[in-house]
Each structure stands twice: as structure tokens, then as C-alpha cells.
């Protein structure tokens, strides 16, 4: 599953049980969920996909607005925590799925096309942003909405572990070009949240988080 340490399942496996206890993460997920809900298609999406769902901090808030929601992640432990929440809440419309969407066999593991695809804080963990966005386009139905939250370009100090392979956030203009190159239209950004945390240098720092939305055109 690991791609030169980019998709580091073990790292997230080891964090899963403590994931929700982090107040910075909880505040971020709350803000991103509200931003995603505000930008969902007016007509209720029948078939939604979330990539990098983690323990479901965003998943569980967005799911009530969807018909069915496939929640994929590459960490079995993150998915286990999510599955426990689904069982405890008797939530019928979320299907957790262990899947790396960047892998060539991914398309054969998910059925049909999605009218809503969303994510929070996962795009920076995916090595080839351009080809991944193109893959997402292929998984979406005409008229479908894409909503991705992630870090604006950061100073490289956001993540605590210097060995972790990640993009240091994204430049909005570059990401817009890349999303448009894949074929999406109506690409638009808002600032969904401002993370305030002690960074790797031990300094209190602020990291803006965008939500970018886009549409796959009707044929």
C-alpha cells in the first residue's frame, strides 16, 4: 500500500485511537464540515464519495445530507474507529472501504459514478495531485460536485515528523489550473478555517485551510 512512504498507513493506524481527542483537529473538522454542507449540491447527492475519511470526523456530519456515502481510507485502524461509530449510531448510509484511490485497481473496487466527492486534509498526502484529480473526475457523474479542503501553501513546519512525505499545502492558483485542466468548471475557493497550533519549530503559528469546489460539466 505504501508509495515511498506517501501513503503511510502505519502512521495513521498508530494515531487512530487518539485521533478524535485532539481539539485542534476537532475544531478543523467542525469548520470544514460546515463549509462542505454549505457548498453541497442543492439537490441531495444520491451517491457520495469521501477520500481519506479517517475516523469520520467530517464523514458523520456530511452523511445526513447524502443518499449513500462511500468513505474510503488507507488506514484500517482509522476505518475501524469509523465503523464503531457507524455501529453505535446505527447509521445506515455510510459504507467504509479500505481503498487507495491512487492505485490502478481502484476503479474496479468502487461501483458507478458519484455525484458528490469530498475530502478534508488528505490531498496533501497524495503524491501526484494532477493525476489524482483526473482520476476523481473519472469517478464522477456529469453535473457532480467536488469539494476538497486542505492547507494553503505552508512553511513546511505544519507536520511534526520531518520524515513524513507530504505536499506543503497548495497554491490556490496552481490548484485551480490543475482542477480546470482535468475538465472541471466553476472552480472556487473559500477559507474554511484557520488552524492555530504549535508547529514543528515549537512556535505558535496559523495555517489557513481552503475549501475548493468545482463542477464536472454536464455532457
Interface residues toward ligand SAM, by CB under 6 A: 7, 12, 25, 29, 51-54, 57-58, 72-75, 78, 100-102, 120-122, 125-126
Output 18 or 186, the one with its CB closest to ligand SAM. Answer: 18
**Integer CA distances (angstroms), 187 to 41, 59, 194, 200, 211, in order:** 14, 23, 21, 32, 10
The distance of closest approach from Cβ of residue 46 to ligand SAM in the complex, given in angstroms and rounded to an integer, is 22
Asked if 28 and 121 count as a contact pair (C-beta separation under 8 A), the reply is yes
The distance of closest approach from Cβ of residue 43 to ligand SAM in the complex, given in angstroms and rounded to an integer, is 25
The distance of closest approach from Cβ of residue 54 to ligand SAM in the complex, given in angstroms and rounded to an integer, is 3
**Integer CA distances (angstroms), 46 to 20, 86, 141, in order:** 28, 19, 11
Output 148 or 179, the one with its CB closest to ligand SAM. Answer: 148
172-181 helix and 129-139 helix, angle to the nearest 10 degrees: 50
Dihedral sign for Cα atoms in the order 131, 133, 136, 140: negative
Rounded to the nearest angstrom, the gap between the alpha carbon of residue 164 and the centroid of all alpha carbons in its chain is 18
Output 25 or 217, the one with its CB closest to ligand SAM. Answer: 25
The distance of closest approach from Cβ of residue 42 to ligand SAM in the complex, given in angstroms and rounded to an integer, is 24
The distance of closest approach from Cβ of residue 74 to ligand SAM in the complex, given in angstroms and rounded to an integer, is 4
Output 159 or 176, the one with its CB closest to ligand SAM. Answer: 159
The distance of closest approach from Cβ of residue 210 to ligand SAM in the complex, given in angstroms and rounded to an integer, is 14
Q: How many CA atoms lie within 13 A of 35 on its CB side?
A: 26
Output 2 or 93, the one with its CB closest to ligand SAM. Answer: 2
CA distance 201 to 184: 38
54-81: string of b/e by CB count within 10 Å (b at 16+)? bbbbbbbbbbeebeebbbbbbbebbbeb
Output 8 or 115, the one with its CB closest to ligand SAM. Answer: 8
Amino acid at each position: 500500500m505504501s508509495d515511498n512512504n506517501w501513503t503511510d498507513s502505519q502512521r495513521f493506524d498508530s494515531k487512530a485511537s487518539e485521533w478524535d481527542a485532539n481539539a485542534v483537529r476537532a475544531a478543523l473538522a467542525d469548520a470544514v464540515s460546515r463549509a462542505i454542507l454549505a457548498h453541497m449540491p442543492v439537490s441531495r447527492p444520491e451517491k457520495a464519495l469521501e477520500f481519506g475519511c479517517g475516523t469520520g470526523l467530517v464523514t458523520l456530519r456530511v452523511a445526513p445530507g447524502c443518499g449513500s456515502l462511500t468513505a474510503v481510507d488507507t488506514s484500517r485502524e482509522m476505518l475501524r474507529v469509523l465503523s464503531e461509530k457507524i455501529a453505535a449510531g446505527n447509521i445506515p448510509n455510510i459504507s467504509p472501504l479500505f481503498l487507495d484511490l491512487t492505485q490502478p485497481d481502484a476503479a474496479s473496487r468502487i461501483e458507478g459514478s458519484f455525484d458528490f466527492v469530498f475530502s478534508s486534509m488528505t490531498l496533501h498526502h497524495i503524491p501526484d495531485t494532477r493525476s489524482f484529480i483526473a482520476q476523481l473526475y473519472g469517478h464522477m457523474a456529469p453535473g457532480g460536485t467536488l469539494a476538497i479542503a486542505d492547507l494553503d501553501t505552508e512553511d513546511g513546519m505544519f507536520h511534526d515528523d520531518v520524515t513524513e512525505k507530504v505536499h506543503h499545502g497548495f497554491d490556490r492558483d496552481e490548484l485551480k489550473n490543475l482542477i480546470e485542466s482535468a475538465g472541471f468548471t466553476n472552480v472556487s475557493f473559500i477559507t474554511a478555517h484557520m488552524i492555530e497550533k504549535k508547529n514543528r519549530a515549537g512556535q505558535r503559528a496559523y495555517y489557513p485551510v481552503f475549501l475548493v469546489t468545482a463542477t464536472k460539466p454536464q455532457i
